[in-house]
């Protein structure tokens, strides 16, 4: 399979979720942000309701409602990858059905993350239940590997292999947020045609060169223009230019290092857009204090962002 035949490929922002003062999703601001990322900032697509989108601080109903609102407001559903993973397979099934009905391009599914030290057999059964209960050939499922957030519950290589073999037309890709390049490279090499996204734009060019399809990243809410440039240079075959652009992208990404990711991104969005809804964040996350925000904003090269 070539990348152009892939269901999804390219630069995806793991979209932030703007909220009003009552901590409800701000549907208008959310659509505005998605439109900006897709039309102005170069994203091929958006992963909504990921870790960055505070998905697990939103209830099932809130996610379905916010998704339906985005589509109503004209955000093209086929450019959306919707996070639908929950600890309960029944909730994952309902969310996934809603995402398919809304016309999204796929679903990004965390493993069940409450119970710890669970077996590969248990995770396999969870995904098997999910796929067979949804029972919809339109379903395109991307595994969401982020062991730092799920307390070690994730997708080891033999489990990925078993899932692909069992559901080759449904389980079509993954987002790997472990931050371990050797692992991403191994997955790209072991499973050609499996749509592997790196969880950080730092690995964008490496991932593309290894046969992966792109990146889905929190900080791409800010860096997608440059990430798109890397993607296009790679596509055009300009190896040196792509590498130089990646170096620049990595440097830009690194300016955000050391700050709490989601609060830092919301603070930066507030600064850049002046939109009020970026002030708000759901607990257990808290907004960044003024001193850290000042320090972050001083270090960011504004003209290159968003």
Task: Summarize as ranges the residues that interact with a copy of itself (CB under 8 A).
Answer: 23, 51, 56-62, 86-91, 94, 111-116, 118-119, 121-126, 128-129, 148-151, 153, 282-286
Query: Phi and psi dihedrals of 83, rounded to 5?
Result: -70, 125
Least distance (Å) from a copy of itself to the CB of residue 95? 10
CB burial of 253-269 (b: ≥16 within 10 Å; e: otherwise) equals: bebbeebebbbbbbbbb
Pick between residue 192 and residue 284 the one whose CB is nearest to a copy of itself: 284
Alpha-carbon gap, residue 262 to 17, rounded angstroms? 10
Shorter beta-carbon distance to a copy of itself: residue 118 or 297: 118
How many angstroms separate the Cα of 284 from the Cα of each of 48, 52, 170, 287? Answer: 19, 13, 34, 10
Write the CA distances from 100 to 95, 134, 167, 213, integer angstroms: 9, 10, 17, 22
For a copy of itself, give the closer residue by CB, 50 or 214: 50
For a copy of itself, the closer CB: 77 or 285: 285
For the CB of residue 55, give the shortest distance to a copy of itself in the complex, in Å: 8
- Residue 70 neighbours by CB under 8 Å, 6+ apart: 27, 30, 31, 34, 48, 77, 80
Closest distance of CB 174 from a copy of itself, Å: 18
**CB of 68: closest distance to a copy of itself in angstroms?**
17
Of 254, 259, 261, 249, which Cα lies nearest the Cα of 295? 259
Which are the contacts of 259, defined by CB distance < 8 A and separation ≥ 6?
Answer: 288, 292, 296
**Shortest gap between Cβ of 91 and a copy of itself (angstroms)?**
4
Cβ proximity to a copy of itself: between 123 and 208 the closer is 123
42 vs 50, beta carbon nearer a copy of itself? 50
Shortest distance, position 200 Cβ to a copy of itself, whole Å: 17
Strand partners, 106: 81
């Amino acid at each position: 399979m070539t990348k152009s035949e892939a269901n999804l490929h390219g630069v995806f922002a793991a979209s932030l979720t703007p909220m009003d003062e009552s901590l409800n999703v701000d549907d208008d601001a959310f659509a505005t942000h998605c439109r900006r990322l897709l039309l102005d900032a170069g994203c091929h697509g958006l992963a909504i309701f990921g870790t960055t989108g505070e998905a697990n601080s939103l209830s099932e109903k809130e996610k379905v409602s916010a998704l339906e609102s985005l589509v109503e407001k004209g955000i093209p559903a086929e450019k959306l990858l919707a996070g639908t993973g929950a600890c309960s397979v029944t909730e994952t099934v309902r969310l996934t059905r809603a995402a398919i009905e809304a016309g999204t391009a796929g679903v990004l599914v965390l493993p069940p993350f409450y119970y710890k030290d669970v077996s590969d057999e248990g995770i396999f059964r969870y995904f098997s239940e999910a796929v067979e209960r949804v029972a919809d050939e339109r379903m395109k499922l991307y595994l969401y590997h982020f062991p730092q957030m799920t307390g070690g519950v994730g997708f080891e290589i033999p489990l990925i292999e078993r899932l692909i073999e069992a559901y080759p037309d449904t389980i079509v890709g993954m987002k790997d947020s472990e931050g371990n390049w050797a692992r991403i490279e191994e997955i790209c090499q072991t499973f050609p045609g499996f749509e592997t996204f790196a969880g950080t734009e730092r690995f964008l060019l490496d991932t593309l060169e290894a046969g992966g399809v792109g990146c889905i990243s929190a900080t791409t809410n800010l860096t997608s223009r440059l990430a798109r440039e890397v993607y296009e240079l790679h596509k055009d075959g300009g190896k040196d230019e792509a590498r130089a652009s990646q170096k620049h992208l990595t440097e830009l990404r690194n300016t955000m290092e050391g700050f709490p990711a989601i609060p830092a991104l919301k603070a930066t969005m507030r600064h850049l857009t002046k939109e009020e809804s970026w002030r708000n964040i759901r607990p257990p996350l808290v907004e960044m204090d003024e001193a850290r925000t000042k320090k972050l904003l001083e270090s960011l090269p504004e003209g290159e962002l968003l």
